[in-house]
Amino acid sequence: MEEIAADTTRRPSVVPENVLEQIHFWEEDLNCVSPSEGVMIKGFDTAEQYKQFVAAAKSERIYLYSSDAIRVVICKNTTTEHIVTLYQKM
């Protein structure tokens, strides 16, 4: 009687393929985000003032993030004078 060896080199995956794909996507997201120091600007009197500052920060290439709901802007870590000058230009 001849023995047949089990194929141990290829095991079926216990994790469904769609879950593996999602984990891969999450891993890609983790790799594209990096921490960065920034400056938070808040306390805008009007929505228009806030929008103008966001536009100015984007044009100066110091914009990182903003929230319309709470009127907060996060800019790259820069000098206070640069932020004040940008604010005064509006």
pLDDT of residue 68: 94
Judge whether 3 lies within some domain.
Answer: no
Judge whether 13 lies within some domain.
Answer: no
pLDDT of residue 82: 84
What pTM was estimated for this model as a whole? Answer: 0.59
Consecutive sets of 10 residues in the chain, 90 residues long: mean pLDDT of each? 59 81 86 79 93 93 93 88 80
Could you tell me where the beta strands, DSSP code E, fall in the chain? 38-41, 63-67, 72-76
> Residue 66: which CATH number?
3.30.70.2610
Judge whether 44 lies within some domain.
Answer: yes
Number of domains in the chain: 1
If you count them, how many residues does the chain have?
90
Contact 66, 74 (CB under 8 A): yes
What is the residue range of 62's domain? 35-89
pLDDT of residue 88: 80
pLDDT of residue 33: 64
Q: Which amino acid is at 80?
A: T
Q: How far apart are the first and last CA of the chain?
A: 90
Judge whether 74 lies within some domain.
Answer: yes
pLDDT of residue 62: 92
